[in-house]
Amino acid sequence: KETLMAHPGASVGDLLESTLGINNQSTNRGASAPIIRGHIGPGNLIVFDGVRFNTGTFRTGPNQYLNLFDPYSLDSIEILRGAGGVLYGSDTIGGVFHLRPLSLRYNRGFNLIGLNRYQTADNSETSAFSVSYSNSQWSLEGGPSLSWFNTLRAGEGGLAPASDYSQYSGHL
């Protein structure tokens, strides 16, 4: 978890850009389609906490749905390349992205974890935190993740039009 929260990526796609053997097709900010072993789209399966995310209704082109997941609510991302993903089905010829959510902390009482990140290229800001409470019988954890991305500045003071957006998510 510390590795994911410390990474400068604003999305799951950004986190994967530095992973060996993973390429990323980004046609706009906030969207990226991962490429494993030359396969893009339906040849790559997304699994969240053991549940298939891909369905037969997904388009056959690049699959940009990986960025729907909040990187600050993930504990880890396991990547299975090639034939290793066959145990998830026959449509995993490229590989599998297995996203694992944050684990509950069973420390008694209240716990708070927070993150604030600022980037100068677009004056963007991300704030994420998680609050948990546990007693001897039950535990509860949740929190929001809020990001504001302003217009991206290009070289020599130019601006990239329509590159600003906001992203809000949460976990419980």
- Are 121 and 152 in contact by the 8 Å Cβ rule? The answer is yes
Question: Within the chain, where are the H helices?
Answer: 2-6, 12-16
Of 17, 7, 79, whose CA–CA distance to 45 is shortest?
A: 79
Other C-beta atoms closer than 10 Å to the C-beta of 137 total 5
Q: How far apart are CA 11 and CA 145, in angstroms?
A: 11
Residue-wise pLDDT for 93-104, tens only, equals 888 989 998 776
pLDDT-derived band at 116, boundaries 50, 70, 90: confident
Residue-wise pLDDT for 119-158, tens only, equals 787 788 888 888 888 888 888 888 898 888 888 877 787 8
- What is residue 22's predicted lDDT score, i.e. its pLDDT? 86
Within 13 Å of residue 79, how many CA atoms lie on the same side as its CB?
19
Answer whether residue 108 shows pLDDT above 60.
yes
